[in-house]
Amino acid sequence: MYWRPMCTFCMKLRFSLLFTSLRYRKVNIWKDPGAAAFVRSVANGFETVPTVTVAGRPMVNPSRRELLDAVRTYAPQRLKE
């Protein structure tokens, strides 16, 4: 999950994922210029976060449901049993 501090959308998505079995890694785009460049490349030049990739498919500001549906479809191994 690409995120940045004080982003309420990021906080909302991260909180909603606390009660799921999804395993993910957080990348702060303010500390990683390459990550910020990637986010801009998939978000029409903007640093829109949260941005998530599921099996190489970028998702810009996905809902919890959209994200979990994509994981079940493209990367079910990312869900803990």
Residue range 28-48: mean pLDDT, rounded: 98
Q: Is the pLDDT of residue 73 over 90?
A: yes
CA distance 37 to 53: 14
**Per-residue model confidence as pLDDT tens digits over 45-63:** 999 999 999 999 999 999 9
pTM of the predicted structure, to 2 decimals: 0.90
Spatial CA neighbour of 48 closest among 6, 19, 9 = 9
What class, spelled out in words, does domain 2-78 have in CATH?
alpha beta
CA distance 5 to 72: 28
What is the average pLDDT value for the chain, to the nearest integer? 94
